[in-house]
């Protein structure tokens, strides 16, 4: 009743009279019940005021037939012009056609706009008119109207452009990055950056407003972290002492849990001194999350809810929960720990059919520990994949994986063509056909060898074959599908690449062992599974996290005895774990990679405002740059060797 009285007073203060308060109360209770029953929280639709604080009355993308007759003011860039008849003006929101006046009184205005270079910045005032019948443009949101100019000002002239600001005009990536401020004007870049902004804002809303997370900024200047990727080093004026730029806020977010913050997140900048690839660059952004008193299922549920809440409506619905697959299943069926599940072509184990086969390399493979014979089927491969591509497959498998593969072509008449055909009995062929579901004009790729190596080789060839088929017009992977997948039960440790007798962390050294494998930690650490989980989207890892070690003794033992690391580098964390550290875990989503996949970009550089080049350079500002010997003296640094770097293409 008190809440009812308060509501009535508020409405009365606004000049509204509630004549039947009890009826009003019942309506409020019903509405509240309906709101609570909704699957998603009730939220009012807010209308953005895109013209606040600026002199324009409308954007270049919002005028419609309802505005006919209105006097409007538009600001933007000259996109296109036709003789002295009309121009198109563009801003972040769209295009509007401006009719140039033909009467003598406004001839100077006509001359000014028709002669101004494209991409000049203008402000135009005029009257909204309907387009003449038959001249409407249904492909343009503002295609029903045009604006007849009566005043205009050139705010800034544009000099000759290095490339046209049009999406269909081909430009090299180097040129785009050199003039990034021009490239950002393109529709493609505008859409990507705005979608990224909207998703991040909704992620913040979901975490902070709905689930009580606290946004905390952590330091960028830190110290070297044992293991992991190469770090950038930052000199100081103290002789011999350097900062490192953190690969991630991993230690800080664990310390925040020890500090009792309970729920943390950050849109975090991270750094790795490893150059660039299409899906990574030296500086990148993570959606970094950590929680106390949580388990693996809790983190997964949180991330699924966040992505569902922030998912762009124009990309369709997002089904949750996401499927879950073990690391062992992923490697066995797909040959990679980040499988693309949009198409089949799974790896099949056909070892049992080859045990009695008298063929040298097959028997040699099967005689070794974990020896096996694996196969993949490329549907209709014989129609599109030629001898040249098959030779490339064989070469790649041998050079990259030290694995021999044998292609089998199933001809249209059902006969087989392969290098070892004379060793394959009709019974074996029939068994392989049944096991792989091979059909005429398919290609089978066989690999005999050590299990992990054979699966990894076929996993790579599976992806290459899919790419070849798609180049030939075979629809295999749906570009509009978003197949999320959790991969779990990773090994806690892996053999080092340069020394197989030593171990390194499969994820990072703070990952907790699987509860069921604790007994193996001191006896067979290479057999221990971890509480590490990866989020995979369309064959790319877009997130990784784990439940952490919260016991100081266990963390010290892992670092010192298993990984052979210098524990003094992490003395601050080990000490903190001794002061009542709660169980905790978290995850980091690669924001750049996630957005790139959502918008269909081939590189994360298309969703970053100012990215680095393939070699990690900023082509716009020419960073990194040379620092003089005099300036380096204050940092006690002397350059003793400076090899000339290859020129950027």
Q: What is the pLDDT of residues 483-535, one digit of tens each?
A: 999 999 999 999 988 887 899 999 999 999 999 999 999 999 999 999 999 99
Residue 3 has pLDDT above 60, yes or no: no
**In 298-384, beta strands by DSSP E:** 324-326, 348-349, 371-378
Q: What's the pLDDT at 246? A: 93
The domains of the chain are located at 2-156, 190-326+484-631, 343-471
CATH of the domain spanning 343-471, picked from 3.40.50.720, 3.90.1150.10, 3.40.50.300, 3.30.1360.30: 3.30.1360.30
Q: What is the mean pLDDT of residues 176-190?
A: 96
CATH of domain 2-156: 2.40.50.140
pLDDT-based confidence at 274, cuts 50/70/90? confident
Q: What's the pLDDT at 46? A: 55
Which residues lie across from 324 on neighbouring strands? 486
Q: For 288-297, 352-361, 408-417, which range has the lowest pLDDT when averaged over its residues?
A: 352-361
Q: What's the pLDDT at 38? A: 37
For residues 376 and 349, what is the distance between their CA atoms, to the nearest angstrom?
9
**Percent of the chain at pLDDT exceeding 70:** 91
Q: What's the pLDDT at 527? A: 95
Superfamily of domain 190-326+484-631: Bira Bifunctional Protein; Domain 2 (3.30.930.10)
For residues 193 and 608, what is the distance between their CA atoms, to the nearest angstrom?
7
Token pair recorded at residue 315: 């990309």
pLDDT-based confidence at 357, cuts 50/70/90? confident
Smallest CA-to-CA distance from 258 within 572, 649, 620, 47 is with 572
Q: Do domains 190-326+484-631 and 343-471 have the same CATH topology?
A: no
The highest-confidence range among 196-200, 235-239, 634-638, by mean pLDDT, is 196-200
Smallest CA-to-CA distance from 126 within 157, 97, 83 is with 97
For residues 514 and 529, what is the distance between their CA atoms, to the nearest angstrom?
5
Backbone angles phi and psi of 424, in degrees to 5: -100, 115
- In sequence order, the 6+-apart residues with CB closer than 8 A to the CB of 616 are 273, 275, 276, 281, 282
Residue 19 has pLDDT above 70, yes or no: no
- In sequence order, the 6+-apart residues with CB closer than 8 A to the CB of 622 are none
For residues 331 and 344, what is the distance between their CA atoms, to the nearest angstrom?
14
Residue 291 has pLDDT above 90, yes or no: yes
Q: What's the pLDDT at 642? A: 60
Residue 43 has pLDDT above 80, yes or no: no
Q: Exposed/middle/buried for 129, CB within 10 Å: 0-12, 13-18, 19+? A: middle
Token pair recorded at residue 127: 């009257």
Residue 15 has pLDDT above 70, yes or no: no
Residue 298 has pLDDT above 90, yes or no: yes
Which residues lie across from 98 on neighbouring strands? 87, 147
- Chain-centroid distance of CA 220 in Å reads 22
Element (H, E) at 384: helix 381-384
State the pairing for strand pair 324-326/484-488. Answer: parallel
Mean pLDDT of all residues belonging to the chain: 90
* Higher per-residue confidence, 418 vs 42: 418
The 10s digit of each residue's pLDDT in 571-620 is 999 999 999 999 999 999 999 999 999 999 999 999 999 999 988 899 99
The 10s digit of each residue's pLDDT in 48-67 is 899 999 999 999 999 999 99
pLDDT-based confidence at 83, cuts 50/70/90? confident
| pTM tops 0.85, yes or no | yes
């Amino acid at each position: 009743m008190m809440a009812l009285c308060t509501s009535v007073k508020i409405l009365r203060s606004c000049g509204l009279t509630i004549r039947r308060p009890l009826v009003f109360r019942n309506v409020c209770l019903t509405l509240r019940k309906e709101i609570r029953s909704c699957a998603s929280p009730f939220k009012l639709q807010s209308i953005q005021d895109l013209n606040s604080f600026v002199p324009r009355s409308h954007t270049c993308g919002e005028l419609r037939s309802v505005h006919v007759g209105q006097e409007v003011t538009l600001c933007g860039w000259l996109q296109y012009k036709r003789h002295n008849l009309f121009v198109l003006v563009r801003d972040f929101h769209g295009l509007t056609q401006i009719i140039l006046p033909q009467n003598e009184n406004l001839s100077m205005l006509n001359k000014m706009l028709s002669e101004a270079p494209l991409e000049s910045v203008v402000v135009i005032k005029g009257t909204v008119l309907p387009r003449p019948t038959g001249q409407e443009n249904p492909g343009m949101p503002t295609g029903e109207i045009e604006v007849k100019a009566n005043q205009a000002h050139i705010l800034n002239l544009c000099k000759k452009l290095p490339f046209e600001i049009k999406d269909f005009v081909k430009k090299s990536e180097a040129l785009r990055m050199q003039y990034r401020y021009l490239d950002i004007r393109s529709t493609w870049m505008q859409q990507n950056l705005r979608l990224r902004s909207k998703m991040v804002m909704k992620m913040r809303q979901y975490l902070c407003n709905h689930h009580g997370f606290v946004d905390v900024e952590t330091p960028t200047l830190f110290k070297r972290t044992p293991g992991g990727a190469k770090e950038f080093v930052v000199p100081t004026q103290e002789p011999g002492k350097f900062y490192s730029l953190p690969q991630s806020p991993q230690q800080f977010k664990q310390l925040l849990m020890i500090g009792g913050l309970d729920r943390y997140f950050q849109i975090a900048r991270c750094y790795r001194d490893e150059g660039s690839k299409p899906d990574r660059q030296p500086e990148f952004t993570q959606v970094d999350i950590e929680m106390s008193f949580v388990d693996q299922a809790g983190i997964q549920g949180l991330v699924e809810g966040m992505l569902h809440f922030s998912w762009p409506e124009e990309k369709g619905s997002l089904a949750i929960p996401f499927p879950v697959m073990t690391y062992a299943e992923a490697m066995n069926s797909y040959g990679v720990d980040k499988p693309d599940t949009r198409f089949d072509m799974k790896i099949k184990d056909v070892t049992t059919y080859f045990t009695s086969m008298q063929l040298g390399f097959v028997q040699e493979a099967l005689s070794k520990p974990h020896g096996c014979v694996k196969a993949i089927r490329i549907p209709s491969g014989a129609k599109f994949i030629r001898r040249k591509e098959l030779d490339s497959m064989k070469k790649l498998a041998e050079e990259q994986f030290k694995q021999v593969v044998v292609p089998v072509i199933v001809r249209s008449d059902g006969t087989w063509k392969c290098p070892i055909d004379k060793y394959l009995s009709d019974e074996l062929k029939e068994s392989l056909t049944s096991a792989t579901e091979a059909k005429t004009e398919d290609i089978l790729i066989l690999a005999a060898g050590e299990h992990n190596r054979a699966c990894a080789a076929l996993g790579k060839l599976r992806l290459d074959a899919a790419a070849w088929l798609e180049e030939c017009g075979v629809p295999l992977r749906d570009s509009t599908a978003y197949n999320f997948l959790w991969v779990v039960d990773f090994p806690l440790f892996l053999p080092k690449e340069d020394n197989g007798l030593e171990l390194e962390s499969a994820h990072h050294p703070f990952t907790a062992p699987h509860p069921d494998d604790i007994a193996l930690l001191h006896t067979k650490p290479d057999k221990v599974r971890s509480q590490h989980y990866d989020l995979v989207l369309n064959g790319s890892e877009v997130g990784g996290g784990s439940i952490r070690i919260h016991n100081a003794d266990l963390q010290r033992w892992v670092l010192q005895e298993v990984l052979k690391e210098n524990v003094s580098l992490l003395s601050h964390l080990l000490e903190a774990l001794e002061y009542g550290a709660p169980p905790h875990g978290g995850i980091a989503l690669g924001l750049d990679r996630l957005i790139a996949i959502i918008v269909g970009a081939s590189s994360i550089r298309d969703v970053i405002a100012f990215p680095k080049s393939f070699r990690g350079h900023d082509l716009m500002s020419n960073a990194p740059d040379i620092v003089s010997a005099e300036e380096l003296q204050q940092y006690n640094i002397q350059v003793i060797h400076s090899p000339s770097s290859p020129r950027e293409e």
